[in-house]
Amino acid sequence: MFRLPHLLRFLAIFMVSMTLFLTVLRFAFYSYFSDPLSPLSTGDFWMSIWLGSRFDLRMVVIMIAPLFFVGWIPYLSPFKNKIAKYFWLGYLTIIFSAYMFFYAVDFGYYSYLGTRLDFTATRLLIDFNTAMEMVWESYPVIWIFIGYFSVIGIFAWLVNKLFSSLCKRENVHYSILKKIVVGFASFLIVFAMGWGKINQYPLRWSDASFSKHPFAAQLTYNPIHYFFDTWKNGRVSYDVNKVRDYYDVVSSYLGVVHKDKAKLYFKREAKPVFTVGNKPNVVIVIMESFASYKSSVSGNPIDPSPYLKKYADKGWYFKNYFTPTVGTARSIYAMLTSLPDTELHGTSSRNPLIVNQHSVLEDFKDYKKLYFIGGSASWGNIRGMLNESMDNLDLYEEERYSAPRTDVWGISDADLAVEANKVLEKEQEPFVAVIQTSGNHRPYTIPENDHGFKVRTDVPLKEVQKYGFASLEEYNSFRFLDYSVGLFMSEAEKSKYFKNTIFVFWGDHGIDGYSQHVPPAESTSNLGLGSFRVPFVIYSPMIKEHKVFDTVMSELDALPSIASLAGISYTATTLGRNIFDPQFKDSHFAYTMMNRANPSFGIVGDGYLYQTTGKFEGLYKIDGKDPMTDHSKEHPELFNEMKTLTHGLYETAKYIPYFNKRQDAHE
């Protein structure tokens, strides 16, 4: 009977056991995060497990590689030297601890953002104190640490037990020739396990994109492997030749009159085409994580946002409004600049080369500009972006309010509503103000001073989950944000500025999830439009007629359209368009992008979405029963039009920020 030396037996047992353990964690990930409304097919599930176990095995190979290569040296062998044994026990325990740390963070990261841990998470280190405070308030940190150290302790005990058990057994002795043969064969086996494929090229993270179902790739990734794969790539850089290739398409889409492909000229002087008053005030309320499918304006049966619906029913409601990306800092960047944030590893607000941008807000001449945030504008470097892009901005943060701090996100949204209104009541008109809420976030705090808000406990958890919320806490947090909007408006209605003000409300981004009352395309397990579609409502006493708009609109279009309503002429230098301009009436699209190592991007049009992930692309029907069916062959002209525009907007969005400084916009 052929027997292996102690070292190879140890490594074989360790690799099999460790790989099985990581596979169990993969099953746990699937059990916790899979969408029961849009499950993986059996084939996709087992392919994800198979590919994922190969990624896991590679990480195990990396873990044991030092022991494999030097453990045969007598004084470094854990089976011949007691000190070496404890050295390798310590080494394996430390590496295992690091691996388990990645898994723990990955689990929380996916729970929070609906994507696996990638290099963009390092942005949390920039705002470390805020991030750690949010984690402390959102998760059972003490129990997590107890579990974490318990698993490490069990691992160290088992490894030590395996070392000791093998040491008690007689080792085998090979001839020199057999040592060479066995050693070389072992190297080939370990190398093949690390390579991951019988192919010229090794197993790569892109192999995870084998299915059109987005969760298949998420299930396949190994969090450690994926994190360092995303670390390899630097910031997004533009390709001027590609921008020039798409210039004719993009410049025509934007309505550029004086085209110049050589200079890549995108500037337009825009005049208002539809106004509602003479120099009205403008108040923009940006609502945190306010996905359309979660809100009452979408017809959600558990009525999470009656106050927003009240003003949507009185004013103008845009039902097909989309943010270009997911994430608050990205949304503020898009609002301010009318550009999608194309950064993959971090956010554009943190890139010092491009924080100085011309904004349509700067063209509100003679307007006082105010910005209210309940917490700190240091998060995501929003402060730097705001101050670099506007002169004389009056920025209000938590330390300027009399209300107490509620949690990591600063004062509550209800207190923010009251505090902002107090300031606006004293302002000389005209003014433009942005109120950025942030409370609809873990840890979903309802403050002691709730301003009369009533927590609902009468809705069963199953009903809450059926219509888009993970828990009663999230449901009530969403309701509290809506209540804060109602509180702000009730206070504003008592003020002098109310009658001459345009109020605009929209969600900063959608969020991963699904509700049974909306089309399947909203689900992240399908087209994922729920991560981008948010309510957009315009209300003003000057608006006399209620309207519902089916027109597709992007967050990039928000400020240009608001400027037109306010009668403001402005210089357009980026990708935003006035939604009310008749020259665009037959061409309304909204760019969307998931910022990750293997990004998916596309544009939403009238009833269809073009989307590409690199490996897969297609034209998908938004309201169809099977949204993953590709209709590109049925509508080749529409497919080619949307594909070309998508790539054109993407390449142009990477280029413009480096040539859009506000001091250059009017030259």
Per the domain annotation, does 521 fall within a domain?
no
Would you say residue 90 lies in a domain? yes
| Number of domains forming the structure of the chain | 2
Check: pTM over 0.95? Answer yes or no: no
Per-residue model confidence (pLDDT) at position 16: 93
Asked whether residue 217 falls in the same domain as residue 256, the answer is no
For residue 461, tell me if it sits in a domain.
Answer: no
Cα–Cα dist 556/95, whole Å: 45
User: Is 551 part of any domain?
Assistant: yes
- CA 217 to CA 636: how far, in whole Å? 28
CB 543 within 8 A of CB 498: no
- Give the Cα separation of 382 and 348 in Å (integer): 10
In this structure, are 404 and 298 located in the same domain?
Answer: yes
Query: CA-CA distances (angstroms) from residue 36 to 210, 454, 648?
Result: 21, 31, 36
> Domain boundary at 231, 259, 278, which?
231
CA pair distance 321, 303, nearest whole angstrom? 20
Specify the pLDDT at position 1.
Answer: 42
Question: Would residue 597 count as lying in a domain?
Answer: yes
d(CA 510, CA 209): 23
Phi/psi of residue 191, each to 5°?
-60, -45
Q: Are residues 623 and 494 in the same domain?
A: yes
- Assigned domain for 462 exists: no
For residues 447 and 584, state if they share a domain. Answer: yes
Q: Do 178 and 88 have their domain in common?
A: yes
Q: Do 187 and 127 reside in the same domain of the chain?
A: yes
Same-domain pairing of 562 and 641: yes
Task: Please indicate, yes or no, whether residues 289 and 338 belong to a single structural domain of this protein.
Answer: yes
- Rounded Cα–Cα distance for residues 641 and 646 (Å): 9
Beta bridge partners of residue 505, listed in sequence order: 285, 537
**Residues 207 and 247 occupy one common structural domain:** no
Instruction: Please name which of 2, 15, 11, 61 lies closest in space to residue 166, comparing C-alpha atoms.
Output: 11
Is 168 in the same domain as 271? no
Low-confidence ranges of the chain (pLDDT < 70): 1-4, 120-127, 170, 172, 174-175, 179, 199-201, 205-206, 209, 212, 230-236, 352-353, 597, 663-667
pLDDT at 234: 45
Q: What are the CA-CA distances from residue 545 to residues 280, 306, 315, 501, 548 (Å)? A: 18, 20, 7, 16, 10
CATH code where residue 330 lies: 3.40.720.10
- Whether residue 315 lies inside any domain: the answer is yes
Structure confidence by residue, pLDDT tens digits, 622-662: 987 888 899 999 999 999 999 999 999 999 999 999 889 87
Show the tokens assigned to 501: 């003000």
pLDDT score, position 598: 72
How much is the pLDDT for 664? 59
Distance CA 475, CA 317 (A): 23
Phi/psi region, residue 114 (left: phi>0; alpha: psi -120 to 50; beta: rest), is left
Same domain, 265 and 388: yes
The residue range of the domain holding 33 is: 6-231
What pLDDT, on a 0 to 100 scale, did the predictor assign at position 663?
59
Q: Which of 175, 200, 231 corresponds to the end of one domain?
A: 231
pLDDT at 230: 66
pLDDT tens digits along 285-344: 999 999 999 999 999 999 999 999 999 999 999 999 999 999 899 999 999 999 999 987
**CA-to-CA distance for 538 and 315, rounded, in angstroms?**
6
Nearest CA among 95, 329, 344, 57 for reference residue 229: 344
Place of tokens 């590893």: 345
In a domain, 522, yes or no: no
Q: DSSP labels for 4-64? A: --HHHHHHHHHHHHHHHHHHHHHHHHHHHH--TTSPPPHHHHHHHHHHHHHHHHHHHHHHH
* Element holding 135 (H helix, E strand): helix 128-138
Residue 4, judged by CB atoms within 10 A of its CB (0-12, 13-18, 19+), counts as middle
* Same-domain status, 280 and 319: yes
Single-letter amino acid code for the residue at 343: E
Q: Domain ends where: 177, 200, 231?
A: 231
